[in-house]
Amino acid sequence: MRIIVHNTKCQGHARCSAQAPEIFKLDDEGYILPGDIEITAGEQLLALQGAQSCPERALEVDRT
């Protein structure tokens, strides 16, 4: 599983990081860092919760 980060949609709500700070890293201004995030099997639930918490839908779950 992978999270595709759509940086242009991020508005700095930081809800993703509040759910899973080890998975969703923010820059100094509170925006998600660019680059897709590879999710290990053990992180999947937290990653899903974090991705779904984003009100801007900036975090796309890729299950392929």
**Spatial CA neighbour of 49 closest among 21, 26, 9:** 21
Q: How far is the CB of 63 from ligand F3S (least distance, A)?
A: 19
H or E element, residue 50: helix 44-52
* DSSP letter (8 states) at residue 32: B
Least distance between ligand F3S and beta carbon 64 (Å) = 21
Binding site for ligand F3S (CB under 6 A): 10-16, 26, 31-32, 53-54, 56, 58-59
Of 7 and 44, CB closest to ligand F3S: 7
Among candidate residues 12, 9, 25, the one with its CA nearest the CA of residue 58: 9
- Least distance CB 21 / ligand F3S (angstroms): 11
